[in-house]
Amino acid sequence: MKALVYHGPGKKSVDERPKPEIIDPTDAVVKILKTTICGTDLHILKGDVPTCTPGRILGHEGVGVIDAVGSAVRAFKPGDHVIISCISACGTCNYCRRSMYSHCVNGGWILGNTIDGTQADYVRTPYADTSLYHIPAGAEEDALVMLSDILPTGFECGVLNGKVEPGSIVAIVGSGPIGLAALLTAQFYSPAEIIMIDFDDNRLEVASRFGATSVINNKDGKAAEKVLAQTNGRGVDTAIEAVGVPASFITCQDIIAPGGVIANIGVHGVKADLHLERLWDRNITITTRLVDTVSTPMLLKTVQSHKLEPKRLITHRFKLDKILDAYETFGAAAKSGALKVLIEA
């Protein structure tokens, strides 16, 4: 089969690899229909994720059709159309019992990280019964690719951890796919304002269309000043960091109001400063999280009811044999205008 393989920092290629087989009785092998590229894949290629070693097939998102199941799989059978969760959960360990599936001692974020992932014709998915989701008949599978990772990540790590409430003021630093996913799902809670901050006017224009009440281009480095002016010096109740660079984390600290929450989503590959000399007395909460995908069933229902339209995040489409072009397009988002690129096997 064809697969996108990581060969070390800055190196990747489309290779021929053996089709995966059932190893454990809880496994399923899924034929990939559609997958996508995540910002985390770019972090891997930068060398920011040392757990992902050369030779690994990348990718942790996708929808597909069950090709084979292990003897212990009860909820799925060959021919079923499924969403592949970015998190593999055994369902029985201490962390899974606490709904912290990302820290499953037997799984967690392993697809495209410590085991081969979804940017291929086929993928082996461990713990199929608790790591796959049935796709309802007639559902739009393009949209459901976004439920593998991006929407639950924006919702759980940003909106839920950020304690977004009705009437609150929210700022999202980073108007890329994850920031936009947080924007879409923050609106479940009717905040009074959602301020989007980015360097890219195109992405900020998209954010305006997706429901941001105001947008700020931070090319001049004055986003914090503008947010404070806009909020009469108070700051925001929730600041969501959706980039994963030190500067965006600093911006969140600069704009958070007393009693507010800074919710980190971004994958940080280098150290970021925490200015406790300014924040020590301000009743600030700072949260970190890897998505647990506990919200996936709820998000699936909102997509089915058309309350949430994640297909709007898709800007480009490629075939699997053109995935290197997809990476180039996604990696040059400022030039290409890419948000999510859909890759069809």
Angle, CA of 81, 64 and 142, to the nearest 5° = 95
| Res. 333 pLDDT band, cuts 50 70 90 | very high
Average pLDDT score over residue span 176-198 = 97
Is a pLDDT exceeding 90 seen at residue 138? no
pLDDT at 237: 98
Is a pLDDT exceeding 90 seen at residue 118? yes
Q: If you search the block for the tokens 């009074």, which residue do you land on?
A: 192
Helix (H) or strand (E) holding 43: helix 39-46
**Between 160 and 267, the higher pLDDT residue:** 160
Mean pLDDT of the chain, nearest integer: 97
Is domain 2-149+292-344 annotated with CATH 1.10.10.10? no
| Res. 269 pLDDT band, cuts 50 70 90 | confident
Share of the chain above pLDDT 70, in %: 100
- Architecture (CATH level 2) of domain 154-287: 3-Layer(aba) Sandwich (3.40)
pLDDT at 3: 98
- 79 closest CA partner among 88, 69, 92: 69
Q: If you search the block for the tokens 């890759």, which residue do you land on?
A: 343
Q: Where exactly are the structural domains of the chain?
A: 2-149+292-344, 154-287
Asked if residue 230 lies in contact with residue 214, where contact means CB atoms within 8 angstroms, the answer is yes
Average pLDDT score over residue span 274-294 = 97
DSSP class of residue 231 equals T
CA distance 113 to 41: 9
CA distance 343 to 172: 27
> Roughly what angle, to the nearest 10 degrees, separates helices 201-210 and 177-186?
20
Angle, CA of 296, 139 and 184, to the nearest 5° = 50
CA distance 34 to 120: 10
Share of the chain above pLDDT 90, in %: 96
CA torsion through residues 288, 244, 212, 177, sign:
negative
The pair of three-digit structure tokens given for residue 298, joined into one six-digit string = 């709820």
Average pLDDT score over residue span 67-73 = 98
How far, rounded to the nearest angstrom, does the alpha carbon of residue 300 sit from its chain's CA centroid?
15
For 207-234, write each residue's pLDDT tens digit: 999 999 999 999 999 999 999 999 999 9
